[in-house]
Amino acid sequence: MPDAEALQFEVAGEGAVALAPRHGIVAGWTGRNPAAIEHHIAELEAIGVPRPSRVPLYYRVAAQQFTQAAVIQVVGAETSGEVEPLVFDTGTALYLGLGSDHTDRALETHSVALSKQICAKPVGRHAWRFDEVADHLEAVRLTAHIRAAGDGDWTLYQEGTIAMIRPLAELLAGAPTAVGATRLAPGTLMVCGTFPVASGGVRPAVDFRMEMHDPVLNRTLMHAYTTEVLPVVS
């Protein structure tokens, strides 16, 4: 497989950590509450996305799709982000970070797997050691805000705690690159599921801002990116 550009993370209490991406995974349909999963499935069915064959599902995406760039380019205007916890394994340790499963919603009506592969996956530049948060993961809260072109105001788009997602240990153990019960093959990045949209339905936005807050250790990860739309040429 071609070498992907190395990602550089600043880890609290540890300093700079480099990751050479080798495996990319999107864990989908990971909600813990069956009613919440059904709500998200219904949100996507409303825009033509077929129901999943089972839950959860692990979609494979190219490792080089994970990026820390401040701007991503997409083809067409029907793409949108999703705030998600990110786990990645350097081969030395497992870490928790912040990512967005940016997805092509038009393509999603034809193939969910391709809709995820076609878009870059923005990830933040800061992370925490997984073992530092393992005993209070479910208290960690994620939020996302969006902003339309020419609009100075940010709108709340998503919010929830990791308690709303299947236990991350369960997702790690079921991952295609799982190594033992709580580790992944070196170079693996996996986004672990998202939350229902606060209001207004799934929709595109020019700017996407996401945060993850640990109320026990009182610290926050943040990342933002802009989407640049390229024309669809037939």
Query: 50-83 burial, b if ≥16 CB within 10 A, otherwise e?
Result: eeeeeebebbebbbbbbbeeeebebbeebbbbbb
Q: Which residues are paired to 225 by β-bridges?
A: 208
**Across 96-119, average pLDDT:** 95
Q: Has residue 2 been placed in a domain? A: no
One-letter amino acid for residue 70 of the chain:
A
Task: Provide the total of helices (H) and of strands (E) in the chain, helices listed first.
Answer: 5, 19
Nearest to 84 by CA among 124, 117, 37, 130: 124
Q: Has residue 138 been placed in a domain? A: yes
**Across 47-52, average pLDDT:** 84
pLDDT at residue 3 in the model: 61
Q: Do residues 96 and 87 lie in contact, with contact meaning Cβ atoms separated by under 8 Å?
A: yes
Residue 37 has pLDDT above 90, yes or no: no
Q: For the chain, what is the mean pLDDT?
A: 94
CA–CA distances in Å: residue 226 to residues 5, 65, 73, 80, 212: 20, 16, 9, 11, 19
pLDDT at residue 72 in the model: 98
pLDDT at residue 2 in the model: 53
Residue 71 has pLDDT above 70, yes or no: yes
Residue 162 has pLDDT above 60, yes or no: yes
Structural domain that includes position 49 = 7-230
User: What is the model's pTM?
Assistant: 0.93
Domain count, the chain: 1
CATH number at residue 193: 3.90.850.10
List the structure tokens of 87: 């786990």
**Tens digits of residue pLDDT in 191-216:** 999 999 999 999 999 999 999 999 99
